Amino acid sequence: MSEKIINLSVDCAIFGYENGKLKSLLIKRDKEPCSNQWSLPGSYAYFDETIDNAARRVLFELTGIENIYLTQVKVFGEVNRYPSHRVVSILYCALIKSDLFELIAGSHAKEVNWYDVNEVSELPFDHNQMINTALQWLKEEIWRKPISINLLPDKFPLNQLQDLFEAILQEEIDNRNFRKKVINMGLVEKLNEKTKGGQQRPAFLYRLKKSI
């Protein structure tokens, strides 16, 4: 069995989007410290693996989620962030469509579940700060990269994209300003197709540009 690096850990802030809501993935710990408390999925890295591989392994072992793209966001190295000894943690983040994944609690997780980001209570260690840091990263990246490309159909009316942005930014956005901004920034391209059916007037469809 590989040897753990007891001073180096990885934590994963995984956000799920479903039905217009942004949720955070949490596990219920089954070991000390902070047993029976909800926290981000995280654990120690091993000597014989890269940090990126450690993050993917830990996420799969604790939640059953695999084959997603994780981005390294920040290093958390406060001296007293862990109660028993010095631990530096590297935070990873991902934004996924939550209903596409089956959650399986494993390793040192009693339970695993999604929680509305606005209803997450006090977490152990510095995990609330980690969530806030990851959310801020998302708010900045969503205007620069097509990180929402797996959360929307290939073709969509702009109101669907606006709903997603509002969930991540956690604020209402003026419809006209949003439309103008995403088009001027080249985030989307307009198609010569419109929505069909429904009670609302047909709207033009768009698609995300994969290269920005």
Name beta bridge partners: 22.
17
Name beta bridge partners: 72.
92
Show the low-confidence residues of the chain (pLDDT under 70).
Answer: 1, 197-199, 210-212
Taking the complete model, does pTM exceed 0.85, yes or no?
yes
Strands 38-39 and 88-96: unpaired
Domains and their CATH numbers in the chain: 4-141 (3.90.79.10), 156-208 (1.10.10.10)
> Quick one: pLDDT at residue 209?
80
> Quick one: pLDDT at residue 152?
86
> Quick one: pLDDT at residue 212?
42
150-186, pLDDT tens digit by residue?
A: 788 889 999 999 999 999 999 999 999 999 999 888 8
**Any alpha helices (H) in 37-196, and if so which ranges?**
51-63, 127-141, 158-169, 175-184
CA 139 to CA 141: how far, in whole Å? 6
> Quick one: pLDDT at residue 199?
67
**Any alpha helices (H) in the chain, and if so which ranges?**
51-63, 127-141, 158-169, 175-184
3 state DSSP class of 123: coil
